[in-house]
Amino acid sequence: MGQGWTRRCSSDRNQRLQLTGVRAIDVAEASGTLLLDVAHRRWSQEMLDATHLDASCLPELFESQQVVGKITAHAANETGLKAGTPVVAGAGDQGAGAVGIVLEGIQAVLEKREVAAYHRKVAPELVARESTRKLI
């Protein structure tokens, strides 16, 4: 691992490197480099040729949910984390935000379903009580 790479990488990539010893990047973040062939989920040979870069100087590509490595003994000693704990690629702020929006939408749908189910159960009882009250 060259020091040049660690000085040029974002904090999350540097943290993954320090925790696992693996140079890793998630494909969403990699797409921001303009060096990624997004359709094929790999570094673009065309862009590497155009920039005179060798793919070996770039981090390994991972999907956000993929395990990139495990906490090393050294990192465990330095941080108090358990050695061998899996570390995933994670996601940048835009990708994570998109997931959050989807999850909020799912939660809203579930809450609406729960409310509707509750009303289907309780509403007839309330209607019956109200109609009885009006008759008295």
The CATH number that domain 1-91 falls under is: 3.30.420.40
* Closest-CA residue to 83 (of 41, 135, 21): 21
69 membership: H or E segment, kind and range: strand 67-70
- Give the pLDDT score at 65: 86
The DSSP letter of residue 81 is: P
Catalytic residue positions, numbered: 93
Q: Per-residue pLDDT for 19 more than 70? A: yes
Q: Are strands 42-43 and 60-62 parallel, antiparallel or unpaired?
A: unpaired
* Confidence band of 4 (pLDDT split at 50, 70, 90): very low
* Stretch 73-86: mean pLDDT: 93
Q: Which of 50-64, 79-93, 94-108 has the lowest mean pLDDT?
A: 94-108
* Confidence band of 44 (pLDDT split at 50, 70, 90): very high
